[in-house]
């Protein structure tokens, strides 16, 4: 899903860069309001975990593989604004040090994976949690939020590629969405397991706990 250099035209990569820069700036202010300084190391550890987890691929159909996006994981544990910062940090490191995703496409990749993925996960998680309360309902909510975050980020990338004239929308949609719907299933399972473990050992301090 990491868009490389040359796949987005100027209007698209400049536009997504501006939107992503604004979202990052606003996220920093929201995180400062919601969390204390002791949460920063937690965000760093979570970013390191997501970065490492993205290096591990799991097989899907047709000999292809996928890896954890992590937007839903960070969103469920710390909220969408913190998640946006965490995933953006991971993407910036991948871009500059591992050549994973193009520099001109960095704004698009951040918009798609860090913010579209995080806020779609947040919306789906809240919706499903309200409909199906309890432990089992929470697990379903996390799974669906994770799946939606992957599919939503892939759809955003599809739109950007089509707007850039790189590939027709129908071709990009067929190529991107089918595989990422499958990858989202793996994302959902991994996220449910990790969130359940983290909560069971009390590793994450939420904003509400800090204000208590």
DSSP state of 65: E
Q: Where are the domains of the chain?
A: 10-211
Dump pLDDT digits (tens) for 154-165: 999 999 999 999
**177 Cβ contact list (under 8 Å, min separation 6):** 151, 154, 155, 158
Dump pLDDT digits (tens) for 58-113: 665 554 456 789 999 999 999 999 999 999 999 999 999 988 889 999 999 999 99
The end-to-end CA distance of the chain, in Å, is: 39
Percent of the chain with pLDDT over 70: 91
Q: What is the pLDDT of residue 203?
A: 62
Dump pLDDT digits (tens) for 93-104: 999 998 888 999
CATH class label, 10-211: mainly alpha
Is the model's pLDDT at 57 over the cut of 80? Answer: no
| Percentages of the chain per state (helix, strand, coil), in multiples of 5 | 80, 5, 20
Q: What is the mean pLDDT of the chain?
A: 89
Q: How far apart are CA 82 and CA 77, in angstroms?
A: 9
């Amino acid at each position: 899903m990491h868009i490389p250099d040359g796949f987005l035209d100027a209007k698209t990569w400049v536009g997504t860069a501006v939107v992503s820069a604004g979202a990052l700036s606003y996220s920093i202010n929201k995180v400062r309001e919601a969390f204390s300084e002791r949460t920063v190391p937690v965000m760093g550890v979570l970013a390191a975990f997501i970065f490492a987890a993205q290096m591990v691929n799991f097989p899907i159909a047709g000999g292809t593989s996928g890896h954890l996006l992590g937007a839903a994981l960070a969103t469920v544990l710390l909220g969408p604004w913190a998640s946006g910062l965490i995933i953006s940090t991971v993407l910036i490191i991948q871009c500059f040090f591992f050549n994973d995703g193009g520099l001109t496409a960095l704004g698009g990749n951040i918009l798609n994976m860090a913010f579209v993925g995080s806020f779609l996960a947040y919306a789906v998680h809240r919706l499903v949690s309200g409909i199906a309360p309890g432990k089992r309902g929470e697990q379903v909510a996390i799974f669906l939020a994770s799946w939606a975050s992957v599919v939503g980020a892939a759809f955003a990338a599809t739109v950007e590629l089509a707007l850039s004239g790189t590939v027709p929308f129908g071709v990009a949609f067929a190529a991107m969405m089918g595989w990422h719907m499958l990858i989202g299933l793996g994302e959902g399972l991994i996220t449910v397991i990790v969130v359940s473990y983290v909560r069971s050992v009390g590793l994450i301090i939420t904003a509400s706990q800090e204000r208590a």
